[in-house]
């Protein structure tokens, strides 16, 4: 799977960038205070535009808790964005 984003931890979630052939933006993944049972745990923004959502998942390989994201922008390929350490 191609990496289209890199992020670092912040107090409210993660900050970083997303790069594709059609897109090169700074983005942030913001933690939702009280997520519903099946709703996302994070929202993904570029500026004020919401780009997608992320769910908290635990890595099978490392046991680390990372956000697993789905982007909703048509210019982004349908792929997962993962937190980079």
pLDDT digits (tens, 9 = 90+) for 44-76: 999 998 888 888 888 788 888 777 776 665 555
The Cα–Cα gap between 47 and 64 comes to 28
Full domain range(s) for residue 69: 5-82
Secondary structure (3-state) at 51: strand
What is the per-residue pLDDT for 54?
86
Alpha helices, H only, the chain: none
CB distance 36 to 53 below 8 Å: no
Into how many domains does the chain fold? 1
The Cα–Cα gap between 78 and 74 comes to 9
Tens of pLDDT, residues 19-47: 888 889 999 999 999 888 888 989 999 99
Nearest to 56 by CA among 21, 19, 27, 31: 31
């Amino acid at each position: 799977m191609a990496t289209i984003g890199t992020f670092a931890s912040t107090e409210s979630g993660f900050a970083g960038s997303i790069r594709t052939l059609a897109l090169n933006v700074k983005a942030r993944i913001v933690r939702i205070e009280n997520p519903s049972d099946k709703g996302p745990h994070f929202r993904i923004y570029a500026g004020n535009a919401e780009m997608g959502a992320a769910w908290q998942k635990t890595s099978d390989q490392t046991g680390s808790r990372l956000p697993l994201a789905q982007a909703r922008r048509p210019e982004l390929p349908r792929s997962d964005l993962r937190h980079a350490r």
